[in-house]
Amino acid sequence: MLSTFEGFIPGDRYSPLYILTIVLINLPIITILLHGLWQVVSPKDPNVPPVVFHWIPIFGSAAQYGHDPINFFFKCREKYGDVFTFILFGRKMTVALGPKGNHFVTGGKLSEVSAEEAYTHLTTPVFGKDVVYDVPNHILMEQKRFVKFGLSVENFRAYVGLIEDEVETYLNNDPSFTVYGLGDINEWGSFNALKCMQELTIFTASRTLQGKEVRASLDKSFADLYNDLDGGFTPLNFLFPNLPLESYRKRDRAQKAMSDFYVQIQENRKDEDHSHDHDMLAALASQKYKDGTPLTERQIAHIMIALLMAGQHTSSATASWALLHLADRPDIADALYEEQVKHFSTPDGKLRAMTYEELKDLPLLDSVIRETLRVHPPIHSIIRKVIKDVPVPGSLANPGPDLTYIVPKGHYILSCPALSQADPAVWRDANKWDPLRWSDPEGVAAQAFKTYDDATGEKVDYGFGAVSKGTESPYQPFGAGRHRCIGEQFAYVQLGVVLSTIVRRLEMRLDTPIPSPDFHTMITLPKKPCNIRYRRRNFD
């Protein structure tokens, strides 16, 4: 290798400067080789989960995990089993796979693991102070109880018509659906599934949960604020919370402006009666903590930002994936349309409006949503920070007789429901999008959902009302345990009405294969292009 650099390095080949230069040039390679050698020859602690081999110190397995975490975990499982540790920019991430791994992470004890310490550096700069992961867990549970109060059946009944109206307005006015507006069933147009669902999701959420003032404010300036705030909710922000980058400064400015926006709405509402409104602002205004302390206007503002950000990402991703699959499987889309005709047709050949109760009694629609969430769960990894040494149950991983894996304090533990939802050992044709698998009451899918829903099982009240744990199910699209998504039922309402209304109006086709998932974002989105061809299903 010395000869490679002769003529490029000043000084005599045996001079100190020459030798130093050669050493510095080769130091990274030497470090990498020594690091790899040390992993092979160093003694292993039998009570610590095996570490995934990696060449680059600190960087670890970041590239493999970031590019395709599901495939990375499947390969690691073959070599190391269901419990192993990989290095992610210096963090030691101990992975626990399968249903028992899901339970180990999502059912972890508060005295041993913390979601707050795992996520607060990402969420607090975006959502704001004193909410979600910026408060102790018992306060978060109370805040979830406040939100649950606003997610009532009475409100859901009101939301169905509002969401349907928003979808129809969007189809009639958005430039992507100009061909639809022509009224000719023989003309085909196209729309970008992800772009349109991102816009439609924020329109429907603001019309329902967020309140009429927010819906009326959805102009370019609001969109710019939202985009700047969203730019601070990325894997880069999770890994490096405080980089001196313009995107971080834009995030901080947008957070303050958005917070002030919600506070101003509350100030304006003080002279008006909003007790009969169905939005979350009205619901939160009357809430108090157990000690009698009311929510502050700033806390309400930050909860509203959290609802806007978290719900928009997950619902728009799921709606996009569902439409792409329906366009790829016109037989399923046609069956979904026939389900609408069966339940909602009128004597004049039109389809009447849906109700909340009727929406819950559409088995194929429900199966389409469940299967989309199985194949494309919005979040692939669930993480907790270990705050006290945690023993790994022998039923999850058994390192040998009289041995128990211990995950040390300071590590992170990670479960991957996306893997258990795509595990060929559990699911037939695991990678195939097949909504009909949910129609068999004795099948794997139905049993997995029964375990997740656990309607007849023991309920646990973590502080926001009795819920099913669902921590041991291989199907966990909304998380499980105390951090199970509080907006699960709203998501089903929103997705159900959006998909139903679009299928009523459009026939869809996909000219290209289903896009691959993009794992480089916090939420698993379809890669570009994700365009769908469409035409009007019927004349009005």
Residue 118 and residue 383 in contact, taking contact as beta carbons nearer than 8 Å: yes
324 touches 515 (CB < 8 A): yes
Spatial CB neighbours of 477, under 8 Å, sequence gap ≥ 6: 370, 373, 374, 377, 378, 417, 421
Q: Give Cα 469 distance to the centre of its chain.
A: 19
Rounded Cα distance between 47 and 50, Å, is: 9
What is the torsional sign of CA 419, 420, 425, 431? negative
The crossing angle, in degrees rounded to 10, of helices 297-328 and 246-269 is 110
Is residue 153 a contact partner of residue 483, using CB atoms and an 8 Å limit? Answer: no
Let me know: does 336 contact 508? Beta carbons within 8 Å.
no
d(CA 225, CA 223): 5
Assigned token pair, 221: 């300036």
Closest by alpha carbon to 99, among 475, 484, 485, 444? 475
Cis peptide before 529 (omega within 30 of 0): yes
Strand partners, 79: none
User: How far are the Cα atoms of 115, 177, 358, 502 from residue 353, in angstroms, in the given order?
Assistant: 41, 22, 10, 13
- Alpha-carbon 272 to chain mean position: 36
Integer Cα distance of 116 and 304 in angstroms = 19
| DSSP-assigned beta bridge partners for residue 94 | 85, 413
Look-up of token digits 């059912």: 107
3-state secondary structure of 42: coil
Among all chains, which residue has been given the structure tokens 């705050």? 387
Q: What is the DSSP letter of 421?
A: T
Q: Do 295 and 284 touch, CB atoms closer than 8 A? A: yes
In sign, the C-alpha dihedral spanning 42, 48, 51, 57 is negative
- Helices 488-505 and 153-173: crossing angle in degrees, nearest 10, is 40
Query: Residue 366: CB partners within 8 Å, gap ≥ 6?
Result: 360, 438, 492, 496
Could you give the 3-state DSSP secondary structure of residue 415?
Answer: strand
State the alpha helices, DSSP H only, in 433-516: 444-453, 488-505
485 annotated binding-site participant: yes
Structure tokens at 41: 């020859």
SS3 15: coil
Are 318 and 369 in contact, with CB atoms under 8 Å apart?
Answer: yes
- Binding site as annotated, residues for heme: 485
Residues marked as binding?
A: 485
